[in-house]
Structures are given as C-alpha cells and as structure tokens.
Chains A and B, each alone.
Chain A
Amino acid sequence: MVTAKQTAHLVPPLFKQGAADDFRQSGRTLSFTLSPRDLQISVFASPNVLRSQGIVSPGSQQIFLASLQQAPLSERRVFVTDMSVIFAAVQNLLKASRARDTQLLQSEDVMQALNKLANDYVNFCKECCMYASRDISRPEPLQFDAEHYRKLYTCFSLFSVLYLPEPGFEDVPIGDELMEWLNTHFIEPSTQEGDDLSSQERPWEDPGFWSYLTRTSLRGLSKASAFFLDVLGKHPSTYLQGLAQQLSPLLTNHPRLHHFDAERDFAVASRRWKDKVKTLRIELDRVPDSEREDDFENWWDRFSDIVGILEGRSEVIKKVCTELGADWKEVCAAWGIFVDTRLRRQDLPDIVAQILDEMPPDPTDREDTIHSLLFLGRPTQALSEAAQLDVWLAAHLADLMEPIELIDADPDDSELTLRQHYILAYAESLRADPALWRITVDYMYSCGEIGREMGDQVLMRVPLRLELPEDAAAAGEEATRIRSGQLVGVLKDVNEACFEYQREEIRRSVCKIAAQTFIREKEYGLAISYITSAEDWPGLGRIVDLVLEEYIAQGAAKFAHLVANIAPSLHNFGADSVARLHAPAVFQHRLMFAVRFAEFHQRRGNGDWPGAAADVVSMFREETAPKSWWAVLLCDAVELLQYNDRMLFASNDACLLIQKLEEIQIRVGQGCGDDYLSVLSRIAHGGEKHALQRLQTVRLALARYYARCGAIGVGGRPSGWNY
C-alpha cells in the first residue's frame, strides 16, 4: 500500500491502553513539531497546564521521531525516478503544443505522442512488475510487491486502451483491443490446465474439459481450441466428432477487425461467418436427445453454450461467465467480439452499466473498482479510487486525463484543478526523501501558481552545503571550488533550477543565505558576490561595514591579508562595474570606498608605493572616502609621505591632503569631532584626544613633505617622477 498507513503507535508507549485520563492527570499532554525538510515529525510529552513550577519532575524525557510516510526505497525509488522522466516528456509535449496554440484533441501529432508516452508508462509498470516477480537475491528488499505493480500495470494499460487510442482509431470498434487487454492481464485458462488436459488420452472425461474449451473459445485462443476440438475426433459420439470438426474452422477463422483494412470488409466477413454459425446451430439441433450425453457430461449442452457464444447471445455469455467464475470484464470483452462487433468506445458506458447491474464488481477489490469506473466513463471517481491504491497512479492518470478533456481543467474552490491536486499530493509524498528534491520540484512546478510556490518552499530548503567540514582535509573539492568563486554542487543545482523555472526571488533568497554563511567565515569577497547577485543592497551595506570593521578591529596588516582574498571578487566590480550595479547610490558609494580602500591597502602590502599613493589621492579627489575615514586615510598616508626613495605625491596632491587635514581640524574645533574622528578614535584606542595626537603626526609629515616639494622644484611635478 502506498498511501500511508493510517495510524502508528509509538514505542515505548506513554500510557496503557485506555488510560488517557491517567496520562492527563499526570500533568502531561502530547505535543509535536513538523520538519520542513521531509515528512518527519517529532513527538513528545508536554506539560498539560503550564504553571511556574512543574509538578514532581517526571524524570528523563524522550522525543519520538516518526515519518508521515516512508521514503521511496529500493525498486520504488527507481520506479519514481524513471517515471519522472516520462512525466517531464509529457509536460514538454503539452507545453510545445500550447505554444503552437493548436487544439490538442485535433492534432494528430500530439495525440500520437501522448499515446506513445502512455505506452511508455505502461511498459515501465510492466517491467517493474516483472522485476518484482523474479525470485532473485536483492541488495534491498522490495518496498512493494509484484502484485502492486501488476495492478498499476493493468489500470494504466486499461486507461490507455480506452482513452488514448492511436490517432485515427478513436471511432473504431473496440472489441479486439478489450479482449487483448483481458488476455494480457487476466490470463485464463491457465497453461497448467491446458497441459494437464493435453496429456490425457480422453480429456473429455476430465471434469474440467468443457470449461476449458468454453473458455478458450470465449477468449479467442483458437489454437488451443483447435487442438482440443481435434482430439474430440476420438470421442465415442460420431455426432460430436462431426460437430467438433465443423466448429474448429469457425474458431480459427473468426474474423477480427485487425485482419481487415476497412471496417466494411470486416462487417461483410462477420456476416458471412455468422451464417456459418447458423448452419452449425442447425446441425447441432439435429442431434437426437438420446445422443446428447456421454458417460461424463451432457456434452451437447456444453457445446450448445459455445455455439451460443458464437451466436452472440448475451444471456448465454453471461451464464457461461458466471459458471466459469469469470467476472464482468470478461462479459464486456466478449460483448465486443461476439454480441456487437461494432461496439465502440462511446457505447461502452451504457453496456458496461447494464452488465455491472447483473454482475457487480468486487467492492473489496480496489483494482476492480478502478477498472469498472474507467469502463463506465467516470474518470473523477476512478482517480479517487486510484489515489487510494497508489497516489502515483492518480497523479499520472490525471496528468493525461486533463489535456484530453476527460477531467475539468478549471480550478475548484481550493483553487487547484483536479490534476494539480493529485500531482501535488504525489509530489508531497516524494518529500519523504529530501534527496529527491529535483524530482519533487519538477512535479510541483507543473501545477500552476500554487504549485510553483510550493515548489519554492521545497527548493529554498535544499541545504546548500557551504560550510567547510571540521577537518580541512575532508573539505572536498566542492567546498574549495565554491570558495574560489565557482558555482558547484548543490548551490549550482539550486541555481539552475531557479533559472529553469524562473524563480528569481528564490534564487535571491538562496544567494542571501549563502552570503550569510560566507560572512560567518569572513569570506567577504564571496559574501559580496552573492549578496550583490541577490541585489540585497542593505545587506551589501552591512557586509561593507563588516569589511571596514575588520580594518578597525584587526589593524592594517591583518586587513590587507583579508583583503587579499577579497581582491578577485571585488576586482570584478572595480570602479566601473560598481557603477553598473543597479544599487542605490548610497550603497554604490560605500562599496566603491571599500573596494578602493582594499586596493590601497593591498598595494601598500605589496610595496606598490606609487599605486598606493595614487589610491589615496583619488579617494580624496573623487570624494570616494567618507568623512569619517579621512583621518584614517591621512594617517595611513604618513608612511608614503615619509618614503625617502621617491616623492610619491605631486605638490598639488600634497596640497589637497593638507586641505583635508585643515578641514578636519577646523570642524573638530567647531564641535564636529564625531563626524570626522569616530573611526580614528576607535583605532587609536584613546578617543578623540589620541586621534588628534595622531593627526599631529600627519600634520608634521605633510609639512615636511610640502617643504621638500618646494625645495625640489617649483609647484607642479618635480623631476624624477615618472607619471
């Protein structure tokens, strides 16, 4: 049974049978929580009434873990996975057809393709059934037995026969196909019986002989019939010998639709054949009463029944079926072969209803119920029963029923269509195994807006596996590659799914979550990269702040080291790319500053003095540096000012630096210390006073530098510079 077993009792039980009152009086009730990952549920005893103090402590408490449904295992997992491929093909077919705006039912191509896909489903059910029936040793025991897959096979196959005929054959008599279906799935009589009878010298003495022969005649198993009619050549009664000889060609040459190209030819042949049956009947009636029995059986009655079948007498067929222990399906199939050779699909519901009135289906046999509902043309009810048997069946039948307009494509009050309801129910069952998420979301995303949002819920919860495991050795290729900026592993899969289904919001959410992980690991470059991909500008602002915090907290040397890791990602942004982001201006500025500041310190760290100096100058000139960082920048520039080997700043640049310093000092004097000295104060660990002291050093360095400028040359660029 695939639908979840309806109840479960957890062990060890918390109270005895019927003792719920005791449970309650002990101050306990039951509580639980559902897992978002799969169908797991945690269940535990909880206080009945919350008071500030507990009652006498009940001691060690346990938490039960249960699952609302078993995950697909073993052969079922293969079944589910392979079937999803066919499902995807159906979706693609229908999507393409809708895009061409063709009326599905009128497009022969599409109907042909659907027919073929339905056969794929049927064949796969058959394979699974055969696999499950093999008596072999398996690595894992079967989750469902062959019998279960057999039922799926018969139901899907019947659906296909009744509702998805080959294009051009919709209006053709259905007798042949129904009989073939019956003979494929409900083999009668058994080979064993045939073998038993054929090994006998005088099989007609066997009590099962006539039933056997009647059945083979009914089922159109002409070879077997012919064989035993031949054997009847040795029967004591000469009448029977003769009749058997006459009957045999009637059975072997019974006209069947598929033998003919045109239905008219078939009709003509059938009429001629019927005439021959009449002749046989006349012969039969000539047999005197006294000659109609042998020592074992009234063979005449039995023979007459067979002829009655051939004559197409419905009451004979029903009587025979009842006697044989055959059910309504056999009567239906026989109807289309003998009673009404022109029986068409659309005629079935009425005929079947009549038959079922007299020979109702077995209400305890769900498979039989499904068959009857399919015959009766009640697809909605058939789906309901199918869902009880296996929600896979309901989902995939509904998926084919809707495009061929067997079921309503309009949503009901729940805002889901019938098809969506069953497919989503099936997808939910797959959630029992989170590793099947790709398949689960594929199904969900085919179910309209509601399905898409449900798919989002599942997609978002696929763990990204970004954390580096404890021992770096096991870090694995994936984690390393992610950190080098490549999109791999689960992150890549989720990203691809987002693109495939156009779930931009989800993609962004996933990026934000990834950024969070990288922030924790201080992989700021990756964090920036992902947060920008998510277009989370406030988030970007926060990361930039964190990056700058590192400078404040760890100092220039450590910052430079950290920044070395950021450089590749930030470089992608650079000055130009930052401008290309659609971020609001304020965030662009902050990021720009962080980028430049990082580059400045990197250059310092690498000994690229001219480059570093240029960075400082441009940060002031282009007003990239925020006011609160001017003082910091100036302090960091002291080293460059004091560099002896070269004059790194032009005199007008030095002027600029002096101007900035002046501005700071004037503003601080006016009481705006917070605006200009907040960051430096923190770095200087001594508040504003120490910050100002630091600035004094800057002042001195600038003064000296400017003096050197003057000494070397008049304004502009002193000689010895190379830019």
Chain B
Amino acid sequence: MIQTGLIPNAHNDLVTDASYDFYGLRLATCSLDQRVKVWQLDETTGSWSLEHDWKAHDAVVSKVSWAHPEFGTILATASFDRTVKVWEQISATDVDGTQLNGTSAGTSSSTRWIERAMLVDAKGTVRSVEFAPQHFGLKLATISSDNYLRIYDCLEQPSLSSWQLTEEVDVLSLPTATPSSRSNAHTVTVATPTQSSTTLDGNSASLVAHALQQQTSQSQLPGRPGLGTREADGGWSISWCKDKYWGEILAAACGVDGIVKIIQVFPSRRPSTLLSLNPSPSNAETTKTAATSGGDSEASKAFAITSVAWAPSCGRSYHLVATASRDGHVRIWRVKPPTPSEDLEGDDADGTEGKWSASIVGDFDDHKSAVGRVEWNITGTILSSAGNDGRVRLWKMTAGNVWRPAGHISVEQAEEQQGEADADMAVED
C-alpha cells in the first residue's frame, strides 16, 4: 500500500461520502458543507482536478450515488434536508429551460449538472441512496431516519423528471423473516460468536413467536426521528444485491437494533423479509424485557449497524454481505439463497419461497472502536472497513477459504519522523 496523492482543499467541512463513477475516472464527493463536487482524473498524470462544484441541498448531504452509465451521467444525492435529488450532466449547449446548476470549475466548461428531480417523501433525514443494479432499470432506493426504505422508479427516461414511489416500507416493522406459505421450517439466522462457519437452522415452533416478539419489542422502542440521542446512536444503511437472478433484493439496517434485514421487493406484492442477519439474536428477548422495564439492559445492548455492503457475487452461488457496527465489529456474512429443491410439491412456483440462510464467516474487532463504513471491491474479493481508530483495514480470503486481515492504511502519525514518511513509499524486503 502506498500513498499516491492528495486533494488538498476538497471541501470546507468534513466530507460525508465519496463515490467513484463506473469507470473510476470521476469522483463525486459530498460534505457537511451542503455541496457536491465532481473531480476528474487526468489519466496521464494521475492527478485529480475539480470539474464541478455546486450547492446541492439546504442541509448536510449524506450520500452520493452514481447511476449506471447506460442511463447517462446521473447522480443521486441524499440529504438531511429530507430530500433526495437526481442530477444529470448535460452538455452546456443544451437549452433546456431547467434550472442550471453546476457552475463549472477548472477547464471543463462544456458540461453542466442540472437538477432533474427532487423526491420529498422522507419524514426524516435521508441517510443513504443507492441506484439499483442496471438490469432492473433506472431505479433507486433510499433509507431515512424515519426508518422507511423507499424505492423509486424512473418513469420517463430521457427526461429523468418523473419518479414514481413504488415501495415505501417501515423496515423496523418488517418481520425478521416473512413466514413462507409452506409450513416447513424457515430459517432465522443465529450466529456463532466465533469465526466458525456452521450454517444454523431455526425451528418452526418458536419462530413465529420469535418474530412476533421482535415486532412488539421494536414497536416499543422509541424510534422517532429528531430525538437527539436516538438519531445520533442510530445507523441507517442499505445495499442492493448485485445479482439479477434472484430479483430485487436489498440489505437494510435501521436504527439501533443491530439487525440487517434482507428484503425482497416485488412489483405486485408487499415486500418480504427473506432473512435477518443478527449477530446476537438473544437480544430480541432481552430487548423486550428491557423495553418493558424502561431501560437498556447493560449485558446485551445492541449496537447500531452503521454500514452494510453487499458484495458482487461474480458467479459464486453464495453472497457475501458485510456489516460495520458501532460495537467495533466488522462482520462478513455468507448468505446462501435457496437451492432449487428436487422434491417440488408443486406449490413452489418461484424458487424464492425456499430457505435463505446465512452464517458469519468473518468477525473482526481489530478496529477496537466503532466502525463507520464497509465496502467491497468490484470482484467481491477484498473488503475494506474504516473506524474510529483512524484506520482503513483490508480483509481478504486465504487459499483455505478463511477471511483474514490483509493490512491497513492509517492516518495516525507514524513512529518514524515526518521527514521519513517518504520511506513508506519505498519497496521494502
């Protein structure tokens, strides 16, 4: 690992999110300063220059997401002003009548960014926005501190002005696993506390009761947005499943329960929870007791998930979903979709009614402090995480199928003198 450069004065306040475009030739950044900036890479020199810079929202911009280039050059931004905006880059010669934003900086004056749509349904701060995989068309998902997952479909493509809210679901009130129509057991994930990778099944009798408990306990938790401490403790994050085979599936984490729900959305049915990823399911019981007794039980406090990332599956039959938690843990879940069963009884029309299961294949607390972000590379082979310890850590799978730490990048001052920092760039034996 070596440092290759620096963008010295990127924003006037802390940067909340950064995202490379599909080709990695542009970088969009957003910040507490309410602005979005788009930087362009000079491939010959490797340096980045500011291409566009504009005030995107009236409050903190929390996230920025690029659409797939087959739809054009499009960005979506999520903000604390409770809106999501969709932006498009057009050539400056287009006379559109639409409000022109994106005052150009630098040399590229032939393009502009203009606001195409503003989505105003959120009742809380919008924490995340992500475009769906391109095979599902031009659509995006958002999650906000009102605990709602919202999915929007672009109705009119070249114009991008009309977006339909096709799904609006309260993540917390979704069951931890939607009971299937068959009476067979369905799985709720229970994780082992160590790094073993056994797949565990639930049993049906207690599961329905369990699910009900979850629902009641959660509805008793004060989860209203705007309550200072709650919002600060909470985490809201989404990540699309990148496959097209299984349908439109997202991982969503909401609030403070530390649970990630794998949710499937359908065009003509209510969404269902395929399974939940819960590292300590016993919390459900204690949370209920805790809620009724009016306080958090110290022994089994759940910690918010700050970030969830679904790896591109690249031909693997299993999925990898990573979570970052305030409890300092980075977890890698191996999520297995149902295998098509040989003994179809005829009532299983679509394979998705089968069992989804998951197990933890990596559980790391190397950060020793809250972890704020996890992200996969495009082949799903390297996971990165960043935490309060001021380090970005890498995780890779060894030849023996075991996830291990693979180095880190730190912003802490090195033990050597400042002047010797360049020595880090040299190749060492």
Q: Would you call B161 an interface residue if the criterion is a C-beta within 8 Å of the partner chain's C-beta atoms?
A: no
A54 adjacent to B427 (CB under 8 Å): no
A509 adjacent to B392 (CB under 8 Å): no
Task: Give every chain A residue within 8 A of B18 (Cβ-Cβ).
Answer: 31-33, 42, 44, 63
Return B35 CB to nearest CB of chain A, in Å. 11
B390 adjacent to A63 (CB under 8 Å): no
A23 to B367, CA, bound (A): 14
A47 to B11, CA, bound (A): 13
Q: Would you call B189 an interface residue if the criterion is a C-beta within 8 Å of the partner chain's C-beta atoms?
A: no
B69 adjacent to A43 (CB under 8 Å): no
Return B198 CB to nearest CB of chain A, in Å. 12
Specify the chain A residue showing the minimal Cβ separation from B5: A65
Return A711 CB to nearest CB of chain B, in Å. 49
A68 adjacent to B394 (CB under 8 Å): yes
B80 adjacent to A35 (CB under 8 Å): no
A69 adjacent to B24 (CB under 8 Å): no
Return B157 CB to nearest CB of chain A, in Å. 6
B411 adjacent to A37 (CB under 8 Å): no
Cβ proximity bits A18-30 to B, threshold 8 Å, 1 near / 0 not = 1110011001111
Binds B, one of A411-419, A678-686, A715-723: A411-419
Q: Would you call A697 an interface residue if the criterion is a C-beta within 8 Å of the partner chain's C-beta atoms?
A: no
B1 adjacent to A463 (CB under 8 Å): no
A34 to B22, CA, bound (A): 11
A385 to B51, CA, bound (A): 46
Cβ proximity bits A185-201 to B, threshold 8 Å, 1 near / 0 not = 00000000000000000
B25 adjacent to A67 (CB under 8 Å): no
Query: Among residues 455 to 513 in chain A, which have CB atoms less than 8 Å away from a CB atom of chain B?
Result: 456-458, 460-461, 463, 470, 509, 512-513
Task: Give every chain B residue within 8 A of A520 (Cβ-Cβ).
Answer: 72, 90-91
Task: Give every chain A residue within 8 A of B70 (Cβ-Cβ).
Answer: 509, 512-513, 515-516, 539
Task: Give every chain B residue within 8 A of A387 (Cβ-Cβ).
Answer: 399
A23 to B315, CA, bound (A): 41
Partner of A20 from B16, B389, B418, B428 at Cβ < 8 Å: B389
Partner of A415 from B20, B318, B369 at Cβ < 8 Å: B318
Task: Give every chain B residue within 8 A of A448 (Cβ-Cβ).
Answer: 315
Q: Would you call B3 an interface residue if the criterion is a C-beta within 8 Å of the partner chain's C-beta atoms?
A: yes
Q: Would you call B55 an interface residue if the criterion is a C-beta within 8 Å of the partner chain's C-beta atoms?
A: no
Q: Would you call A59 an interface residue if the criterion is a C-beta within 8 Å of the partner chain's C-beta atoms?
A: yes
A68 adjacent to B1 (CB under 8 Å): yes
| Residue of A10, A17, A28, A456 with highest tally of chain B CB at under 10 A | A10
Q: With A1-B427, A63-B6, A457-B312 as given contacts, are A9 and B414 in contact (CB-CB < 8 Å)? A: yes
| Residue of B231, B316, B318 with highest tally of chain A CB at under 10 A | B316
Task: Give every chain A residue within 8 A of B11 (Cβ-Cβ).
Answer: 60-61
Interface size on B, residues (CB 8 A): 99
Q: Would you call A51 an interface residue if the criterion is a C-beta within 8 Å of the partner chain's C-beta atoms?
A: yes
Return B370 CB to nearest CB of chain A, in Å. 7
Task: Give every chain A residue within 8 A of B388 (Cβ-Cβ).
Answer: 20, 23-24, 29-30, 48
Q: Would you call B378 an interface residue if the criterion is a C-beta within 8 Å of the partner chain's C-beta atoms?
A: yes
Cβ proximity bits B89-121 to A, threshold 8 Å, 1 near / 0 not = 011000000000000000110100000000000
A5 adjacent to B413 (CB under 8 Å): no
A144 adjacent to B427 (CB under 8 Å): yes
Task: Give every chain A residue within 8 A of B5 (Cβ-Cβ).
Answer: 64-65
Partner of A32 from B231, B384, B389 at Cβ < 8 Å: B384
Binds B, one of A317-325, A420-428, A617-625, A667-675: A420-428
A421 to B370, CA, bound (A): 32
Return A526 CB to nearest CB of chain B, in Å. 15
Cβ proximity bits A517-547 to B, threshold 8 Å, 1 near / 0 not = 0011100000000000000000100100110
A67 adjacent to B384 (CB under 8 Å): no
A34 adjacent to B384 (CB under 8 Å): yes
Q: Would you call B267 an interface residue if the criterion is a C-beta within 8 Å of the partner chain's C-beta atoms?
A: no
A66 adjacent to B409 (CB under 8 Å): yes
Task: Give every chain A residue within 8 A of B381 (Cβ-Cβ).
Answer: 424-425, 428, 454
Task: Give every chain A residue within 8 A of B261 (Cβ-Cβ).
Answer: none
B69 adjacent to A513 (CB under 8 Å): yes
Task: Give every chain B residue within 8 A of A11 (Cβ-Cβ).
Answer: 3, 418, 421
Binds A, one of B26-34, B169-177, B215-223: B26-34
A51 to B418, CA, bound (A): 34
A27 to B13, CA, bound (A): 12
Specify the chain A residue showing the minimal Cβ separation from B19: A33
A38 adjacent to B24 (CB under 8 Å): yes
A268 to B397, CA, bound (A): 55
Task: Give every chain B residue within 8 A of A546 (Cβ-Cβ).
Answer: 158
Q: Would you call B155 an interface residue if the criterion is a C-beta within 8 Å of the partner chain's C-beta atoms?
A: no
Specify the chain A residue showing the minimal Cβ separation from B312: A457
Task: Give every chain B residue within 8 A of A35 (Cβ-Cβ).
Answer: 20, 24
Q: Would you call B391 an interface residue if the criterion is a C-beta within 8 Å of the partner chain's C-beta atoms?
A: yes
Q: With A45-B14, A50-B62 as given contacts, are A457 and B6 in contact (CB-CB < 8 Å)? A: no
Cβ proximity bits A375-417 to B, threshold 8 Å, 1 near / 0 not = 0000010011001000000000000000000000000111100
| Residue of B107, B388, B394 with highest tally of chain A CB at under 10 A | B388
A512 to B5, CA, bound (A): 34
Return A276 CB to nearest CB of chain B, in Å. 49
Return B415 CB to nearest CB of chain A, in Å. 6
A457 to B7, CA, bound (A): 28
Q: Would you call A449 an interface residue if the criterion is a C-beta within 8 Å of the partner chain's C-beta atoms?
A: yes
Task: Give every chain B residue within 8 A of A418 (Cβ-Cβ).
Answer: 399
Return B68 CB to nearest CB of chain A, in Å. 8
Q: Would you call B150 an interface residue if the criterion is a C-beta within 8 Å of the partner chain's C-beta atoms?
A: no
A4 adjacent to B16 (CB under 8 Å): no
Q: With A31-B372, A49-B232 as given contacts, are A13 and B80 in contact (CB-CB < 8 Å)? A: no
Q: With A30-B386, A30-B387 as given contacts, are A9 and B421 in contact (CB-CB < 8 Å)? A: yes
B317 adjacent to A415 (CB under 8 Å): yes
Task: Give every chain B residue within 8 A of A184 (Cβ-Cβ).
Answer: none
A50 adjacent to B2 (CB under 8 Å): no
Return B425 CB to nearest CB of chain A, in Å. 8
A387 to B404, CA, bound (A): 15
A542 to B410, CA, bound (A): 48
Task: Give every chain B residue within 8 A of A5 (Cβ-Cβ).
Answer: 1-2, 407, 424, 427-428
B413 adjacent to A542 (CB under 8 Å): no
Return A439 CB to nearest CB of chain B, in Å. 16
Q: With A29-B370, A61-B31, A418-B399 as given contacts, are A67 and B4 in contact (CB-CB < 8 Å)? A: yes
Q: Would you call B129 an interface residue if the criterion is a C-beta within 8 Å of the partner chain's C-beta atoms?
A: no
Cβ proximity bits B289-332 to A, threshold 8 Å, 1 near / 0 not = 00000000000000000000000111111100000000000000
Task: Give every chain B residue within 8 A of A41 (Cβ-Cβ).
Answer: 384, 392, 409
Partner of A63 from B10, B413, B418 at Cβ < 8 Å: B10
B3 adjacent to A8 (CB under 8 Å): yes
A383 adjacent to B14 (CB under 8 Å): no
A452 adjacent to B315 (CB under 8 Å): yes
Q: With A23-B390, A65-B5 as given contacts, are A47 and B32 in contact (CB-CB < 8 Å)? A: yes
Q: Would you call A40 an interface residue if the criterion is a C-beta within 8 Å of the partner chain's C-beta atoms?
A: yes
Q: Would you call B224 an interface residue if the criterion is a C-beta within 8 Å of the partner chain's C-beta atoms?
A: no
B1 adjacent to A4 (CB under 8 Å): yes
- Known A-B contacts: A387-B399, A539-B70. Give 13 more (CB < 8 A): A5-B427, A9-B414, A11-B418, A20-B412, A36-B20, A36-B378, A44-B10, A63-B7, A66-B4, A384-B399, A450-B315, A458-B379, A470-B108
Interface residues of B (CB under 8 A from A): 1-20, 22-25, 27, 29, 31-33, 48, 59-60, 62, 69-72, 80, 90-91, 107-108, 110, 125, 127, 134, 157-158, 197, 228, 231-232, 312-318, 369-370, 372-373, 375-379, 381-382, 384, 386-392, 394, 397, 399-401, 406-415, 418, 421, 424, 427-429
Interface residues of A (CB under 8 A from B): 1, 4-11, 13-20, 23-24, 27-38, 40-52, 54, 57-70, 143-144, 380, 383-384, 387, 412-415, 418, 421-422, 424-425, 428, 434, 448-454, 456-458, 460-461, 463, 470, 509, 512-513, 515-516, 519-521, 539, 542, 545-546
- Some 20 contacts from A to B, beta carbons below 8 A apart, are A5-B428, A9-B411, A20-B388, A30-B390, A30-B391, A36-B378, A37-B23, A44-B10, A45-B411, A47-B14, A51-B232, A60-B8, A63-B7, A415-B315, A424-B379, A428-B382, A512-B70, A519-B158, A520-B72, A521-B91
